C-alpha cells in the first residue's frame, strides 16, 4: 500500500504538500501540484480515510441502520442516503438490526467506534426514550 510519505519521497516534497494536493486546499504552486498529482496517479495512491479520521477526529461516514435491508422500503432509505452522501464525498456503512433492539444498540456502538457522527436509524422496536438517549449520546 502506497503511503503519503512514499508519494512525498518520490515527488521530492513534504507529506503536508501531498496532503494539500490531495485535499485540493492550501497553497501549492501549479508546477508542484502537477508534479505531485502525476506521482499520485503513477503510484495509484489512495488516501487512507482511517488515518485521516484519526487526525481530524471525525470520519466522513454516514451510518444507516435498518431493521431489514432487503425490504424495498428500507433498501430505498439506504439507497437515498448513499446517493446524497456520495454528493458530499461521504461513505455509507449500512447495518441491519434484524428486528432486534439489542442489535440496534450494538449497531450504533459499532458505528461510533468507527468515528461515525452521522447516523440514520429506522427503529422498529426501540423505545422512544431509548432512541432519545442514543441521539443525545451521538450529539456529544
Q: Please tell me the predicted confidence (pLDDT) of residue 118.
A: 85
Candidates 1.10.150.80, 3.40.50.150, 1.10.260.40, 3.30.1280.10; CATH matching 4-47: 1.10.260.40
Q: Averaging pLDDT over each range in 11-15, 19-23, 123-127, which range is the top one?
A: 11-15
Confidence category of residue 138, pLDDT binned at 50, 70, 90: low
Q: Are the beta carbons of 1 and 45 closer than 8 angstroms?
A: no
CA 132, distance to chain mean position in Å, is: 24
Q: What is the CA radius of gyration of the chain?
A: 19
Q: What is the pLDDT of residues 75-112, one digit of tens each?
A: 899 999 999 998 888 889 999 988 888 888 888 888 88
Domain 56-139, second-level architecture: 3-Layer(aba) Sandwich (3.40)
Using a 10 angstrom Cβ sphere, with 0-12 exposed, 13-18 middle and 19 or more buried, the burial of residue 100 is: middle
pTM beyond 0.85: no
Q: Please tell me the predicted confidence (pLDDT) of residue 122.
A: 85
Q: What are the boundaries of each domain within the chain?
A: 4-47, 56-139
Q: What is the pLDDT of residues 24-81, one digit of tens each?
A: 888 999 999 999 999 999 999 998 777 776 666 667 889 999 988 888 998 899 999 9
Amino acid at each position: 500500500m502506497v503511503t503519503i510519505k512514499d508519494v512525498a519521497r518520490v515527488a521530492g516534497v513534504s507529506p503536508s504538500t501531498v496532503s494539500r494536493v490531495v485535499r485540493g486546499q492550501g497553497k501549492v504552486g501549479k508546477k508542484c501540484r502537477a508534479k505531485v498529482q502525476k506521482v499520485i496517479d503513477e503510484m495509484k495512491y489512495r488516501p487512507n480515510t482511517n488515518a485521516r479520521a484519526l487526525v481530524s477526529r471525525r470520519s466522513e461516514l454516514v451510518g444507516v441502520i435498518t431493521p431489514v435491508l432487503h425490504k424495498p422500503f428500507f433498501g430505498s432509505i439506504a439507497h437515498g442516503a448513499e446517493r446524497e452522501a456520495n454528493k458530499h464525498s461521504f461513505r455509507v456503512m449500512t447495518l441491519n438490526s434484524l428486528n432486534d433492539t439489542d442489535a440496534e444498540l450494538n449497531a450504533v456502538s459499532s458505528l461510533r467506534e468507527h468515528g461515525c457522527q452521522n447516523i440514520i436509524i429506522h427503529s422498529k422496536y426501540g423505545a422512544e426514550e431509548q432512541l432519545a438517549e442514543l441521539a443525545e449520546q451521538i450529539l456529544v
